[in-house]
Structure 1
């Protein structure tokens, strides 16, 4: 039996309109799926959508869409204002995601900052579980993205997703976004023989089958276990090309979309990264 093909795409700029700009850039670089911001990634503003642009994305069911929540979101923050704004921002991303037919909303797992790990995880249970309950059946999944491993991060290695899933009661709308650069920075040596397989095996053993919903495919400017989240173009960093081929061949990754978030301000480097991944894809 042939495994389903993983679509390969990119986080795309939306200048000129969420659909108009995003789909135009996707076509230029050969992206089969896209990820977008629906708000300023470094701010708290929650803009309304433009119905005409939303409709264009809904019409393009052949190009699956994912939303990345703003970077300021921190569901582990001890600051009540930050937590309140974070939850509002996630709700906004989920609502906008549903309006454009997004399959998932990616959220960083966050940091405890100055409070204890247990205190931070208690508020994850208290505040994020009700948020999951609000998502309608046809709404996007909430995809937790482990971090690179510095500054009291609540989750870096994939095994640390376990407490999140436990506290969120393994909710059916909860999934995982696996970022290769983050995983490598956190200490999963994807570049070692069998390293990519070992990381995905550990992820599945921790959260169960079917929870991996998206892969952020990024090479790393820094060595394994650096704790530094600095993306590099595919094959140009410390991970190299072959671990991405290994990921494609893992049964748990079959059919899972790959999204690049690699450097470059013009279409050429992104088009090259997507071509490289397509050539590595079975």
Structure 2
């Protein structure tokens, strides 16, 4: 390996978190993986399987967890807010049990309430969860969104106020999704756009970038649409990912695909990224 980035993907699990996840990882050539530990579209809090947890911990595979999509600390609906707290707390605990390096959570939306009220909620309910994470626990990785609706954090410039609301907590990191950033208005399709975006990220959140979701985009820059495409098949283009991997802010940061398709397409996307990395 001639570059420091690990390249992997969100794995489809069948037959146990470790058994199925590691099998899929091997099939697609992943050097790191991301998994769900709950239903991504529900609020249930399933217990783990201690044998599978141990197998995943002992595998040596770098693991990240993605929290449920329904999580929204900016929601004006009390039930959503309460469930968000419960799910993220559970997901952080499960992440610790499997030895995860980070837990990814979407940065949320104000929906129908004033932005300042949503940001106060964020501080009130998410900051205590960050305080609960032990020194050896996974970082909580904030994932900016594509900018649709009343999103609380979409552009790189939005990250500063978001981190400020959380007192720049040491366990708060960033997961940058390339499709989201592109759709929010950062033109990653050009070398100048990559440099501008990652320079800005290094200024507003120095040392905070912990994971990159490497996804091409079905829609043009600034569309505010979150529709992932396979690497090189969308509006961002393959070369952008080589430019990203060469930027100093991305040094040592894993790239994780969340692209369409199943094993054959995922294997192809990972192979493309490895070639762009220089293997």
TM-score (norm 1): 0.97
Match of 1:179 in 2: 177
1:220 aligns with 2:217: yes
CA-to-aligned-CA distance 1:236-257 (integer Å, 9 cap, x gap)? 0000011100000011111110
**Structure 1: any 5+ residue segments left out of the alignment?**
none
Which residue, out of 91, 94, 97, partners 1:96? 94
Moved over 2 A (4+): none
Which residue, out of 235, 238, 243, partners 1:238? 235
Which residue, out of 104, 116, 119, partners 1:118? 116
1:272 aligns with 2:243: no
CA-to-aligned-CA distance 1:178-213 (integer Å, 9 cap, x gap)? 0000000000000123111211111111122x1000
Measure, in 1, the Cα distance between the counterparts of 2:91 and 2:193.
33
Secondary structure, aligned partner of 1:194: helix
CA-to-aligned-CA distance 1:45-80 (integer Å, 9 cap, x gap)? 01000001000111012x100000000000110111
> What's the CA shift for 1:3?
8.4
Measure, in 2, the Cα distance between the counterparts of 1:111 and 1:252.
27
Match of 1:262 in 2: 259
> What's the CA shift for 1:172?
0.6
Tell me how many residue pairs correspond in the alignment.
278
1:139 aligns with 2:108: no
CA contact (8 A) 2:191 2:243 kept: no
Match of 2:76 in 1: 78
**Structure 2: any 5+ residue segments left out of the alignment?**
none
Match of 2:59 in 1: 60
> What's the CA shift for 1:135?
0.3
